[in-house]
Amino acid sequence: MKYTAPFIFAITIALTSCVSDNQEDFYESVECDTSDVTFNGTIDAILDRNCKSCHFTGNGTGVTLVSYSDIKTHVDNGSLMGAIKHQPGYSPMPQGGKLDDCTIAKLDAWISDGAPNN
């Protein structure tokens, strides 16, 4: 009986010490599915969430990402991924911080597939 409280305390510490508060640790085990990436179903939504609020027609930035043809122009000249991957010589985008690795992988997969308007 006198060892019950320390035993329960030790078990509680052992079980709670295995929990991580870091979201990246949790999501690290989740696979990034890049097998069915399309412009209309994936890419346009990514750009809507992360880019288009600043890069619209007449925004004064010199970079418009509204239509497929706008986006394709920046894909073809390398500036879209240069900015998104924060490569030297490009303005790092989005300004609030780098996109997560899975989102970048989806963009890469679409571009590797020829950046189709699908």
Rounded Cα gap, residues 102 and 94, in angstroms:
15
In angstroms, what CA-CA distances link 6 with 13, 17, 18, 89?
A: 10, 16, 19, 60
The per-residue pLDDT for range 69-117, each reduced to its tens digit, is 999 999 999 999 999 999 999 999 999 899 999 999 999 999 999 999 9
Q: What is the pTM of this model?
A: 0.73
Per-residue pLDDT tens for 32-57? Answer: 999 999 999 999 999 999 999 999 98
Q: Which pLDDT score, from 0 to 100, does residue 62 have?
A: 85
Predicted pLDDT of residue 3: 56
The whole-number pLDDT of residue 15 equals 45
More confident residue, 96 or 5: 96
Query: 12-32, pLDDT tens digit by residue?
Result: 454 444 444 444 544 454 799
pLDDT band at 61 (very low <50, low <70, confident <90, very high): confident
DSSP 40-87: IIIIHHHHHHHTTTTSSTT-SSS---SSHHHHHHHHHTSHHHHHHTT-
Residues 6+ apart with CB under 8 A from 47: 65, 71
